[in-house]
């Protein structure tokens, strides 16, 4: 039976690969409270909730880095400016080992999307400066806003600031180009909601197996499409203070091993995908 070309967009990965696999590792800091609490009051400082976030730099990031090393994979670390300011040694180590350090706002529980263009511009500049200093001079080129929630100005401001890609999008399976006054810019949509620890484990209170099932079903579906000639991309999100806990590690191990067992799957960074997209479609 002949397979029809149902998907209108033509795509290809380097060396004819079938599926690109990226790993997002948010490394976050908070002003009042993290994503987890028991009885916290919104907008008020909560010590227990903040201690949950501290797990990321004390234990979680080290466990995740060890796991990534085992699989020879490099992550894209969405890093709050405050986290880099507090823990520049961790950020520098990750950059030195080849992980991408990308912008993620100043703190993760304060959003500037409604604060106006100048305030947002200054936050991007502030974060860029701190991240560049922490990495020893590597300026970030990717950005995902806290909560993946940017404003109408975000893309233009990022382009002005030397960025090439943004992840505040859920609209597609593959990266795509948008036009700005400064030239082409890459959007990196977050299609894989089923492979995000915050949605499938922390917020939902599911068992870790639910995240494995969501990943496997998603991977199997896109791999089958890739086998039929439609190359695909899968991303998993592993917060340092969430997925870095021992509870989720066996599931992450299964995800990485399962993907690696398939022919034509390659681990890469979001920066590399954005650069490939610009080279392929930026003109």
Fold of 14-33+44-281: TIM Barrel (3.20.20)
Question: Which residue pairs, CB below 8 angstroms and at least 24 apart, start in 165-170?
Answer: 165/141, 165/270, 165/271, 165/274, 165/277, 166/142, 167/78, 167/142, 167/143, 167/270, 168/144
DSSP state of 262: S
Question: pLDDT (tens digit, 0 to 9) for every residue of the chain, 283 residues total?
Answer: 455 667 888 999 999 999 999 999 999 999 888 877 777 777 788 888 899 999 999 999 999 999 999 999 999 999 999 999 999 999 999 999 999 999 999 998 888 877 888 999 999 999 999 999 999 999 999 999 998 888 889 999 999 999 999 999 999 999 999 999 999 999 999 876 778 887 777 766 778 888 899 999 999 999 999 999 999 999 999 999 999 999 999 999 999 999 999 999 999 999 999 999 999 998 7
Domain spans, the chain = 14-33+44-281
Name the β-bridge partners of 232: 19
Task: Give the pair of three-digit tokens for residue 50.
Answer: 């903040």
Which pLDDT score, from 0 to 100, does residue 72 have? 96
Cα(97)–Cα(126) distance, rounded to whole angstroms? 24
Beta strands in 83-157 (DSSP E): 100-103, 142-143
Report yes or no: 40 and 253 within 8 Å, Cβ to Cβ.
no
Rounded distance, CA 138 to CA 129, Å? 10
By CB atoms closer than 10 A (0-12, 13-18, 19+), residue 147 is middle
What pLDDT was estimated at residue 208? 84
Do strands 76-79 and 183-187 pair parallel, antiparallel, or not at all (unpaired)? unpaired
As beta bridge partners, residue 19 has 232, 265
CA distance 177 to 236: 22
Contacts of 88 (CB under 8 A, 6+ apart): 133, 134
Q: For the whole model, what pTM was predicted?
A: 0.93
């Amino acid at each position: 039976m002949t397979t029809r070309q149902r998907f209108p967009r033509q795509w290809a990965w380097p060396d004819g690969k079938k599926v690109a696999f990226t790993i997002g590792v948010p490394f976050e800091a908070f002003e009042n409270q993290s994503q987890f609490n028991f009885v916290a009051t919104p907008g008020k400082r909560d010590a227990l909730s903040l201690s949950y976030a501290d797990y990321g730099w004390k234990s979680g990031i080290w466990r995740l880095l060890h796991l990534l090393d085992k699989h020879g994979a490099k992550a894209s670390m969405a890093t709050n400016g405050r986290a880099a300011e507090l823990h520049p040694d961790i950020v520098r180590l990750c950059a030195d080992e080849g992980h991408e350090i990308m912008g993620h706002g100043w703190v993760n529980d304060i959003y500037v999307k409604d604060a106006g263009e100048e305030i947002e511009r200054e936050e991007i500049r502030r974060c860029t400066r701190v991240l560049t200093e922490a990495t020893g001079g590597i300026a970030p080129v990717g950005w995902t806003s806290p909560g993946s929630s940017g404003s109408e100005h975000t893309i233009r401001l990022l382009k002005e600031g030397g960025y090439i890609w943004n992840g505040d999008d859920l609209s597609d399976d593959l990266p795509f180009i948008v036009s700005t006054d400064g030239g082409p810019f890459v959007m990196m949509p977050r299609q894989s909601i089923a492979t995000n620890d915050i949605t499938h484990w922390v917020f939902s209170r599911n068992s870790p197996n639910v995240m494995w099932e969501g990943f496997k079903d998603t991977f199997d579906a896109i791999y089958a499409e890739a086998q039929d000639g439609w190359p695909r991309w899968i991303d998993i999100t592993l917060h340092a203070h969430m997925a870095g806990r021992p509870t989720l590690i066996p599931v992450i191990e299964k995800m990485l091993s399962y993907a690696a067992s398939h022919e034509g799957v390659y681990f890469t960074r979001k920066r590399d995908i954005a650069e490939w997209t610009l080279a392929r479609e930026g003109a």
